[in-house]
Amino acid sequence: MKKLFISIICLTTVVLANGQRTTTKELLKKQVFQTEKAFEKMAFEKGITTAFYYYADSSAVINRGKDSLIYGKKAIRNFYEKKNYTNATVNWTPDFIDVSADGTMAFTYGKYVWTIKQPDGSVKEFRGVFHTVWKRQSNKTWKYVWD
């Protein structure tokens, strides 16, 4: 009887621990989704340069045109300042989010649309798929390390 009781206690502990991990993982996924949407909103309201700089981790890397890599927050800001992104907007939403078992990293992917107003008034749209890797900061916020 004692062994049965101990087995039930152990099984209950494992089930509860797994349930807690799932709940925590789901909460972290929601945080990452909210971060993605806040990032998108800032890009619309304050500009692409500001948003991509603000949400970048200090060691962030972005992959842009012809597979060129831009390393670090300052270089990312410089990239967006040099290009004509003042007449551009970008919209996106993650189709998938996952978080590492320890809750320190996450990744998202989904569809984006860049809209660029040309000097002649015409508009060009570029559609694609994004993939972002997020790192949880010591203050519990999320910053991207790869985009």
Nearest CA to 126 out of 147, 112, 139, 146 is that of 112
Residue with tokens 């990312």: 76
Q: What is the mean pLDDT of each run of 10 residues along the chain (147 residues)?
A: 46 45 85 98 96 97 90 95 83 97 97 92 94 97 98
Q: Identify the pLDDT of residue 14.
A: 45
Tally of structural domains, the chain: 1
For residue 84, what is the domain's CATH number? 3.10.450.50
Distance CA 3, CA 67 (A): 61
Q: Given the DSSP bridges, would you call strands 56-64 and 142-146 parallel, antiparallel or unpaired?
A: parallel
**The domain containing residue 125 runs over which residues?**
2-146
pLDDT for position 22: 56
Cα separation of 17 and 12, whole Å?
A: 8
Q: How far apart are CA 128 and CA 123, in angstroms?
A: 17
Q: What is the pLDDT of residue 17?
A: 47
Q: What's the pLDDT at 23?
A: 73
Q: Helix or strand or coil: residue 28?
A: helix
**Residue 10: its pLDDT value, please?**
44
Residue 58 neighbours by CB under 8 Å, 6+ apart: 72, 73
Contact between 95 and 109 (Cβ < 8 Å): yes
CB count in 10 Å sphere of residue 28: 21
